Amino acid sequence: MKVIKKLKITAILFLLFIFSSTILAETAVEGGDDLGSLIKIMVALTAFLVAIIMWLILVYSEKSEAAEASGFSKFMSMINSRPPIDEEQNLLLDHDYDGIKELNNKIPPWFMAIFYGSILWAAVYMVNFHILGSGNVQEDEYAEAVQIASMEREILNRSGALVNEETVTILDNAAALASGKDTYVKNCAACHGMNGEGLVGPNFTDDYWIHGNKVNDLFKTIKYGVPQKGMISWQAQLDPTQMQEVASYILTLRGTNPANQKAPEGELYKYE
Ligand code: HEC
């Protein structure tokens, strides 16, 4: 009977061990680039801990002549491994504090299981996070934080909190100007000409401006439009950054002297 029980438990332990080590191996191969791998490791380690606890139960249950009680009370007596009450006199330490006596009980298995379990946990944790580096939870957290921050930035940008007609500045980096040109060709060239020479809308290559020559002026005209004159408001279709880029692009067109220029409109602005 006892042998069968022992075999059973050993078999379970073996299965648990195989199970957890395959999960660990899988995790190491994958490189663990998501939180899923962390969960797998947790599951594996939990299985390990369960295995250890069962092993301790096995060891202690063989040592102690626990009464053949069943179920929960048996389990409790296994993990506590308390000696029977009539053996207490053997455990008495020979000191007496005002009638309070002390028993030399051994540390209960559940406590030792947690103790050794946490050592094992620490070892696996250390290998996984510091040596193999396969559990990169921190990097995942970082990536998530960056994503959230960029979403917040996007919201702020769209709301005009970052770039508006008061704060807008001229962008002069190639990427921004290329993006501005793209926006221009798609949305503005039909009225202002492919090269800014002017068509329905005014010429952007001369020194004359109807609404001002500063980037703030252009931004404001683009954002709110001049609906009664045929220049629509673009704020519903372009975000503030796009308006900033296209305004910056338009300002680079001055003096390019394209063919078929429209006659100047507005006032002459002085440029040094
Ligand atoms: C349907 C035609 C049309 C389209 C499309 C159009 N505009 Fe205009 N735009 C005009 C007209 C007409 C004016 C002149 C408004 C006025 O007389 O006040 C103008 C004026 C402007 C001005 C002010 C020029 C000045 O002299 O002060 C800017 C800047 C401008 N548009 C930028 C753009 C941008 C950028 C786009 C594309 C995103 C665009 N426009 C698309 C017709 C258009």
CATH number at residue 203: 1.10.760.10
> Which residue's C-alpha comes closest to atom 43 of ligand 1?
231
> Which residue's C-alpha comes closest to atom 29 of ligand 1?
218
Are 195 and 116 contained in the same domain?
no
Alpha-carbon gap, residue 105 to 82, rounded angstroms:
8
Residue from 165, 179, 182, 188 whose mutation best tests the ligand 1 pocket (most atoms within 8 A of CB): 188
Instruction: List, in sequence order, every beta strand (DSSP E) within the chain.
Output: 92-97, 100-103, 208-209, 267-268
Tell me the CA–centroid distance for residue 184 and ligand 1, in Å. 11
Are 118 and 184 contained in the same domain?
no
Tell me the CA–centroid distance for residue 202 and ligand 1, in Å. 7
pLDDT tens string 47-68: 888 888 888 887 777 665 545 5
Tokens of 40: 């797998």
Are 178 and 130 contained in the same domain?
no
Tokens of 190: 């039909």
DSSP letter, residue 258:
-
Are 77 and 188 contained in the same domain?
no
Is 192 touching ligand 1 by the criterion CB < 6 Å? yes
pLDDT at 25 (0 to 100): 54
> Which residue's C-alpha comes closest to atom 34 of ligand 1?
188
pLDDT tens string 130-173: 787 776 677 888 998 999 999 998 898 888 888 999 999 999 99
What mean pLDDT comes out for the span 70-98? 79
Number of compact structural domains in the chain? 2
Instruction: Residue 196: count other Cβ atoms within 10 Å of its Cβ.
Output: 25
Is 78 touching ligand 1 by the criterion CB < 6 Å? no
pLDDT at 83 (0 to 100): 77
pLDDT at 32 (0 to 100): 46
141 occurs within a structural domain? no
pTM here?
Answer: 0.57
Sequential DSSP letters for 93-153: EEEEETTEEEE-PPPPHHHHHHHHHHHHHHHHHHIIIIIS----HHHHHHHHHHHHHHHHH
Domain, as residue range, for 190 = 174-268
Report the SS3 class of residue 8: helix
Tokens of 130: 């510091």
Q: Report the chain's mean pLDDT, rounded to a whole number.
A: 85
Q: Is residue 172 packed enough to be buried (19+ CB in 10 Å), middle (13-18) or exposed (0-12)?
A: exposed
190 occurs within a structural domain? yes
Are 108 and 192 contained in the same domain?
no
Range in 103-107, 121-125, 218-222 with the lowest mean pLDDT: 103-107
Instruction: Residue 155: count other Cβ atoms within 10 Å of its Cβ.
Output: 10
Tell me the CA–centroid distance for residue 260 and ligand 1, in Å. 17
Alpha-carbon gap, residue 182 to 26, rounded angstroms:
47
71 occurs within a structural domain? yes
**Taking the mean position of all CA atoms in its chain, how far away is CA 61?**
46
